[in-house]
Amino acid sequence: MKTKNIEKSKKSLTNFTSEFKEFIMRGNVLDLAIGVIVGGAFSKIVSSLVNDILMPTIGLIIGGHDFSSLSIKIGNAKIMYGSFIQNIVDFLIIAFCIFIMIKIINKFTAKKEKKEEVKKTEDIILLEEIRDLLKKKNK
């Protein structure tokens, strides 16, 4: 009895393992994992751009303000709204970059679809009609 249960458990584990391997090896999962890793690295670059270049430049333009230190103190709480502003700028830059990347990808896929799309001439339409009539006749 115990031997049968152990064998069932081994089969279940083997099936589960093979299903998991199949799931992991799907292209979508690998693409997603790569996207997350690249996105994390890209996020660091954008944060550095915002924190080290853009915000100090904007601060100089509007009178030498350092956005990261902007805050309001209410009682014992310190509300860091300057950090929030920097995070909004981060988000806008990342969203803009993704928008541009998607536009480029769509441009390439649209060209590919146009190449695959063949305009039907009158001859092709006539031949398709003849083919369809022959199929009906043979049935």
pLDDT digits (tens, 9 = 90+) for 12-37: 778 888 888 777 777 677 778 888 88
Give the C-alpha separation, 100 to 119, whole Å.
31
Q: How many CA atoms lie within 13 A of 58 on its CB side?
A: 14
The CATH number covering residue 62 comes to 1.10.1200.120
3-state secondary structure at position 124: helix
3-state secondary structure of 73: strand
Average pLDDT over the chain, rounded to whole? 80
Q: What pLDDT is stored for residue 116 in this prediction?
A: 58
Length of the chain: 139
Q: What is the pLDDT of residue 59?
A: 77
Residue 30's domain spans which residues? 2-138
Who has greater pLDDT, 112 or 69? 69
CA-CA distances (angstroms) from residue 116 to 11, 19, 123? Answer: 47, 36, 19
pLDDT confidence of residue 32: 80
Residue 22: per-residue pLDDT:
78
Q: What is the pTM of this model?
A: 0.48
Q: In the predicted model, what is the mean pLDDT of residues 28-54?
A: 82
Q: What are the beta bridge partners of residue 78?
A: 73
How many domains would you assign to the chain?
A: 1
* Helix spans in 1-77 (H): 2-24, 27-48, 55-61
